Copies of this chain bind each other. A is one copy, B any other.
């Protein structure tokens, strides 16, 4: 393939997966690659390194020269570990490592100012406004992550337990979790969850069970999604407040991450709560997933020109790349 300075690599890594994407100067996607999660708070260092190497090698399979810039978006991962992962994997000139918020933002709102709300394994809201930035949430499964896939799944399991104790209403979740986790009595959940030690990612993936129940019309599951939407809107509103947006300024808000694909059970109450929270806010579709945001950030690092035609060019090629198997990715609804 072409000259060294013409290729950039964007890598986005969340709680459960890593996606690498290599793009040329003119916006041609020359490779995508996939790996597991890299968050050092939750996975061992060697697994994180392997995931980055795997996603990079696959994305760069067609490349033999030097890469101009690598942008790695990953919460809880240090520059040192990223360097260690890339060492000997391929040659590159510049490496930037950041948390997951800026790439999620750049992917969702490549045109600029606004707020992105991410709900995947974890959750956060991040915004940029006239040079200011603000982040709310992103505290992880113990301290926060309200409205995330993990949070939705745990709320679903708690609803099953409450129904079993007579402290909550009967719910379709009882049947659906039994079918998914293969237990007979709710008390067996204790052994399943603690003795077998379900990982944070595996738990987050169970958000699909709550999504299925909501699709069946289950009131308890729908209430969980309504509460999730409320929590995510609170985060977005706090970001808007911190950015110092004026009352007359219109702010774009985009929702991204695997859970956003749940569609109307999440997004309908999200829009309702958003309208109540801030009348000057408009919900816009996230234009690209976070890994494309990482590519756009890599272009900036390499000082490559990123204009609308470059973005359009990339957009035309990523539909296929987006259909990645992913734990917390909920089924896409036709309603979306």
A residues near B (Cβ < 8 Å) are: 40-42, 76, 136-140, 142-144, 154, 157-158, 161, 165-167, 189-191, 193-195, 203, 234-235, 238, 241-242
Contacts and interface: CB of A to CB of B under 8 A. Distances in A.
A142 B155 CA distance: 10
Contacts of A195: 40-41, 76
16 contacts: A41-B190, A41-B191, A41-B195, A76-B190, A76-B194, A138-B190, A142-B157, A142-B193, A143-B154, A143-B158, A143-B161, A143-B189, A143-B193, A144-B161, A165-B238, A166-B241
B238 A166 contact: yes
A223 B123 CA distance: 26
Contacts of A40: 195
Given A140-B190, A144-B161, 15 more contacts: A40-B195, A41-B190, A42-B194, A76-B190, A138-B190, A139-B189, A140-B193, A140-B194, A142-B154, A142-B157, A143-B161, A143-B189, A143-B193, A165-B235, A165-B238
A199 B139 CA distance: 17
Nearest to A139: B161
Nearest to A234: B167
Contacts of A167: 136, 234-235, 238
B234 A136 contact: no
Given A143-B161, A157-B143, A189-B143, A166 B136 contact: yes
A235 B168 CA distance: 11
Contacts of A189: 139, 143
A142 B142 CA distance: 9
A191 B139 CA distance: 10
A165 B242 CA distance: 9
Contacts of A235: 165, 167
In the complex, the 5 A-B pairs of residues with the closest C-beta atoms, listed nearest first: A41-B194, A136-B165, A166-B238, A143-B161, A139-B161
Contacts of A194: 41-42, 76, 140, 142
Contacts of A190: 41, 76, 138-140, 143
A44 to B, nearest CB: 12
A78 to B, nearest CB: 11
